[in-house]
Amino acid sequence: MSSVRARAWLLIGPAVAWTVFFFILPLAAMVVVSLQDHANGGWTLANYRQFFTDPNYFQAMVNSLEVTAWVTIVSLLLAYPFAWILAEIVPERWQRLALMLAVLPFWTSYIVRSYSWLLVLAERGVVNDAMTAMGLVDEPLRLANTRFATVVGFTHFFVMLLTLTIFANLKQLNPNYRRAAADLGAGRLAMFFHVILPLTAPGIVVGCFLTFVIAMGDYITPQILGGNNELLMSQLVMMQIGRRGDFPLASALSLILMGVVTAGYLLSARWLKLERA
């Protein structure tokens, strides 16, 4: 028994060591740093207080949540039909190629892609030029350097992520569920909403949660595409480091952000009963 236990420890030892060295200890260090005063190194709660009392800081969290909500909703609305087409309509032998083509844009650099969107959405960019040429607008619309641009940049990335998780879920569905629903008289819509959609919920939730986590913490996309016309939490954190090197405040803001992401995980896991008994 003891040799089994020792072998078990040997097996999980590296993973435990990895988690301790690269997650627990850095996290503990961040907690300690977040409780320090940048000016004199003394202990203080002022870094946390600033977030909750300064409306400009709190607004950054509100902005992050709003942007993330938009990104998640739009990405899901685009990704589900896309995954459905790939899984149900595209012939099996073309599905791999179709998936590869779908993720092809992501072989390019994330930063280059963001700057490309900036040029596409610019006043004299492709979108405005096309709309003006078609007579849809008289004056170019202000698309770049807005929240809209940030949402577009994020959505471009997360549609693919959600497509992959939903596609995988759709492919795993046992066809007997559909046959049973059809035998019981369900129409196509009823079958989708009462059988397929609930069964693909895990894929949706996994994709949405990953979207939520990555979008909440991403700095590059809002920085390049948002034009700094509003600050998100990730930008607020970076701002503390640039010139002042205010790691205590940056740590406190990061931990608050992490708390919100953790709450998001707990809510989604509980709601959809993802945890195993």
Partner 1 sequence: MCILPFRAAVLLGCGAIMAMAALCPLGRSAAAAELNALVWCDHSDPNLLKPFEEANGVKVNLKEFEGTGAGFAIVDQSQPGDWDVMVIDSIDVPRGVEKGLFEPLPEDRLPLADLYPEVRMDDTTKIGGKRYGITEKFGYNTISYNKDKVDVSDMQSLAALTDPGYKGRLAIYDYYLPVIGMAALALGKKTADLTEADLPAIKDLLLKMKANAKLVGEVTASQTALATGEVDILVGGGEWVTAGLAKENPALDFSIPKEGGILWSQSLAMFAAGKNKDLALKFIQYVLSPEGQARLATSSCYWGMPANSKATLTADQKRILRFDEQPGFLKRAQRYPAPDSALDKKMQDVWTEMLQAK
Q: Would you tell me which residues interact with partner 1 (CB under 8 A)? A: 7, 10-11, 13-14, 17-18, 21-22, 38-39, 54, 56-57, 59-60, 115, 118-119, 122-124, 142, 144-145, 223-224, 227-231, 236, 239, 241-247
Nearer to partner 1, 13 or 259 (CB): 13
CB of 21 to partner 1, least distance (A): 4
Residue entry with tokens 């509980």: 270
Q: What is the DSSP letter of 124?
A: T
Q: What burial class does residue 100 get, using C-beta atoms within 10 Å of its C-beta: 0-12 exposed, 13-18 middle, 19+ buried?
A: exposed
Nearer to partner 1, 33 or 162 (CB): 33
CB of 184 to partner 1, least distance (A): 51
d(CA 26, CA 143): 40
CB of 264 to partner 1, least distance (A): 23
CB of 152 to partner 1, least distance (A): 15
Nearer to partner 1, 144 or 164 (CB): 144
Q: What share of the chain is helix, strand, coil (3-state, %, to 5)?
A: 80, 0, 20
Contact criterion met (CB below 8 Å) for 126 and 100: no
Nearer to partner 1, 54 or 88 (CB): 54
CB of 83 to partner 1, least distance (A): 34
Nearer to partner 1, 13 or 81 (CB): 13
Q: Which of 54, 51, 55 is nearest to 249 (CA)?
A: 51
Q: Which of 120, 203, 111, 202 is nearest to 161 (CA)?
A: 203
